[in-house]
Every structure is written in C-alpha cells, then in structure tokens.
C-alpha cells in the first residue's frame, strides 16, 4: 500500500471530481471485489444520503464511490496499489454545484481586479484608483481602462465610489469599474462625455444614470442604461488565435479556482464551448459543466436538433441562455415585493 499525505487543498484538487457523485453513491458493505484507486480514511464524511448520513471513510474506483463505511471497513478493501489518504478528521462533503456562473475565467486572468473575487475582503477606494492608474499608464489615451469585481458593500471608506474618484484615474481615458453583480458600473467624466451623457439625460425604463443629491451625475449607471457606452472609445483587439488562446487559458484557470473551493459542477452562462472541449481534451477541465448555450451556439444547437441534456458527464447542454428582464439583488437594482433590508426602497 502506498501511504500518502496531502494538504487539504491538494486533496480538494484530487478528490473534487470524484466527490461530485457522492449524493447518488451506492452504500456498499465493506467487502468490495475490485481494488479501489483511492481510499479516504479517518474523516468526518457527510454523505447527503439518508441511508448512511455520516461515515468515516470511503473508497473510490474509476472516479466513482465504490464503498462507504468505517475506517476499519474501508481499510480492509484497500489493495496493494490503492492510494491511502488519511483525512485526519477533516470534514468531507459532496462537491458543490454552482447553478449560475459567468465562467469564462478571462477576467480573472487578464483584467484589473479591484475587489477580491474569492474571499471577503474590504478594500479602500484609493487602492482601486491606484490599480486603475497603473493600468492607464500602459494604455493609449482614448482606450478603456476597466476594473472588475468591485463590491460596494466591501469598501472600507463606507461611501459610494463616484465619478470624482475615477476622474483621478485619468482625464484622457474612459474609465469603468464594474460591480461584481454584473448590473451596475461606475464611470469617469471622460466616459460619460464620450457617450454624450449629461445631467439632463433622462433615465430609461431599463436603467438609470444616477445622480448626487444636487442633480449632478455621480458616475453610477445601472442595468441597460450602460448600453450607451457600447461603441464608445477603443478596446484592445485580438487575433482569432489570441482570442482562442485566451478562452482556453481562462477556462483552465477558473476550473482550478472552482475545485479549490469545492465546486465540482458549474452551470456555465458563457465561456466558449470549443475552448471548454479543448481544455477538457488536454486534461485541464477539473469541474463538470452544464452549458447554457446562447447566441450563435444556441441557434446552431436548435438547427442541428441538439436538445438540452445532450453531452456527457463532463460537458452537457443545460438550460438555454439567461434572459434579463430585471436588475440584480447584490446591487439592489432588482424589483422586490418587500423593501431591501435597511431601506424603504423596493428597487
């Protein structure tokens, strides 16, 4: 028997794929005919199976659970080539499923992150301005400078980010900071000017140009009012080869992040389908994908007669694309029947 100790993080990476199926596993008695690839012993296992809700150990063969039970029972099924992982009383749960994720991974890999996408972290507005200034120094005037993963509830300054902060980044570049919720962004004066938005621009039914109490624009633009910035300013361009490379690297990167946090199945809104398949082929797809086709992929899926459910265990067509009719909860732009906590506003 090989005895092998791994850190919890390494263990998540190895076991992540296998754990996804735990909820439907067979609770087998200790005797198992074929030798398992891996046994995990001395753990606090939450099986999410009412027939045996808790266990100390389990065995995995060919990516499937082959036995679950006590440490002694599972030790007894190990063979010569079985890898043994002593969890030393760590908790083991089935892999998590993320039911909706915009998971191309390219933003994480290539863009300026002004908030922490992974952990709860409070940041200062000056840190956001500094990061964007650094980006502006490498960016030709007139080209967008953008920050991602802003969260207005994770700011140390206890005030809103506004147009004046972003004017400190640059007067030559259009600047945008995108909220992690995906439905609001903050712009500098240059961006607003290039889009022709003034304090007299009326709000739209599907989005707003927010203002300070004195009626001046504060830089926050919500939901589909942000469409006025489409086609404004220059953006980086890539060759088809570069685009494909970025898609693949983005998927491979985010897949590592998913399993690091125990996400073993993810419903993908977006991300290139071909890149997902390429990354899988090269062995770097670590999570299972339910793919939400949209745009040209959805059209060709329909015209080819491919239905939801087509695919296999690793990449499968799931629900069709997200249809946006409202705002988001995290940015308080979604209409609610009850006011938002701490507010009298419904939207």
Give the footprint of Zn ion on residues 267-286 (CB under 5 A).
269
Interaction residues for Zn ion, span 39-78 (CB under 5 A): none
Minimum Å gap between C-beta 17 and Zn ion is 25
Shortest distance (Å) from residue 131 CB to Zn ion: 25
Tell me whether residue 65 or residue 291 sits nearer to Zn ion (CB atom). 291
CB of 322 to Zn ion, least distance (A): 5
Q: Which string of b and e fits 136-152 if b means at least 16 CB within 10 Å? A: beebeeebbbbbbbbbb
CB of 50 to Zn ion, least distance (A): 33
Q: Among residues 32 and 269, whose Cβ is nearest to Zn ion?
A: 269
Residue 157 or 322 having the CB closest to Zn ion: 322
Q: Where are the beta strands (DSSP E) in the chain?
A: 2-4, 38-41, 44-46, 54-55, 57-61, 64-69, 83-86, 91-92, 96-101, 112-113, 145-150, 175-179, 184-187, 209-211, 217-222, 263-269, 288-292, 315-317
CB-nearer residue toward Zn ion: 73 or 269? 269
Residue among 61 and 178 whose Cβ is closer to Zn ion: 178
Asked if residues 255 and 265 have their Cβ atoms less than 8 Å apart, the reply is: no
CA 211, CA 146: separation in Å to the nearest integer?
A: 21
Range in contact with Zn ion (rule: CB under 5 A) among 90-98, 119-127, 155-163, 266-274: 266-274
d(CA 210, CA 177): 15
Nearer to Zn ion, 269 or 331 (CB): 269
Q: Which of residues 308-337 bind Zn ion (CB under 5 A)?
A: 322
Q: Write down the least CB distance from residue 225 to Zn ion, Å.
A: 18
Number of residues that bind Zn ion (CB under 5 A): 2
Residue 292 C-beta: closest distance to Zn ion, Å: 9
Q: CB within 8 A of 296, min separation 6: which ones?
A: none
Report the C-alpha gap between 208 and 203 in whole angstroms. Answer: 5
Name the residue nearer to Zn ion (CB basis): 136 or 266: 266
| Residues in 108-167 at the binding interface with Zn ion, rule: CB under 5 A | none
Angle at 68 between CA 64 and CA 73, to 5 degrees: 130
Return the DSSP state at 96.
E
Quick one: 153 or 321, whose CB is closer to Zn ion?
321
Minimum Å gap between C-beta 217 and Zn ion is: 27
Minimum CB distance to Zn ion, residue 323 (Å)? 10
Q: Are 174 and 145 in contact (CB under 8 A)?
A: yes
Only one of the segments 15-23, 188-196, 204-212, 261-269 lies at the binding site for Zn ion (rule: CB under 5 A); that segment is: 261-269
User: Closest-CB residue for Zn ion?
Assistant: 322
Query: Which residues are within 8 A (CB) of 302 and not within 5 positions of it... i.e. 6 or more apart?
Result: none
Write out the residues near Zn ion by the rule CB under 5 A. Answer: 269, 322
């Amino acid at each position: 028997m090989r005895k092998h100790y791994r850190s919890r993080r390494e263990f998540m990476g190895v076991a992540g794929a296998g754990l996804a199926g735990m909820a439907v596993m067979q609770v087998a008695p200790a005797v198992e005919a074929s030798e398992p690839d891996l046994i995990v012993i001395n753990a606090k296992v939450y099986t999410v199976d009412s027939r045996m809700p808790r266990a100390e150990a389990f065995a995995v063969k060919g990516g499937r659970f082959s036995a679950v039970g006590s440490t002694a029972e599972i030790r007894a099924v190990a063979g010569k080539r079985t890898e043994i992982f002593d969890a030393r009383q760590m908790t083991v749960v089935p892999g998590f499923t993320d039911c909706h994720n915009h998971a191309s991974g390219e933003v994480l890999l290539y863009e300026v992150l002004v908030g922490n996408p992974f952990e709860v972290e409070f940041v200062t507005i000056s840190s956001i301005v500094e990061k964007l200034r650094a980006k502006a120094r490498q960016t030709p005037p007139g080209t967008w400078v953008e920050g991602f993963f802003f969260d207005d509830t994770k700011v140390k300054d206890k005030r809103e980010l506004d147009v004046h902060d972003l004017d400190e980044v640059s007067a030559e570049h259009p600047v945008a900071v995108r909220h992690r919720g995906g439905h609001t962004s903050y712009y500098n004066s240059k961006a607003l000017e290039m889009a022709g938005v003034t304090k007299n621009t009326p709000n739209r039914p599907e989005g707003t140009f927010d203002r300070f109490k004195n009626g001046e624009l504060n830089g926050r633009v919500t939901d589909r009012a942000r469409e006025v910035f489409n086609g404004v300013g220059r953006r980086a361009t890539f060759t088809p080869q570069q685009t494909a490379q970025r898609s693949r690297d983005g998927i491979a990167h985010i897949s590592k992040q998913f399993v690091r946090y125990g996400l073993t199945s993810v419903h993908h809104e977006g991300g290139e389908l071909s890149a997902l398949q390429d990354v899988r082929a090269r062995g770097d797809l670590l999570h299972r994908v339910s793919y939400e086709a949209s745009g040209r992929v959805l059209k060709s899926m329909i015209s080819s007669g491919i239905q939801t459910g087509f695919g296999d265990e690793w990449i499968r067509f799931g629900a069709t694309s997200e249809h946006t009719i409202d705002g988001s909860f995290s940015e308080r732009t979604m209409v609610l029947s009850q006011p938002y906590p701490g507010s009298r506003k419904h939207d």
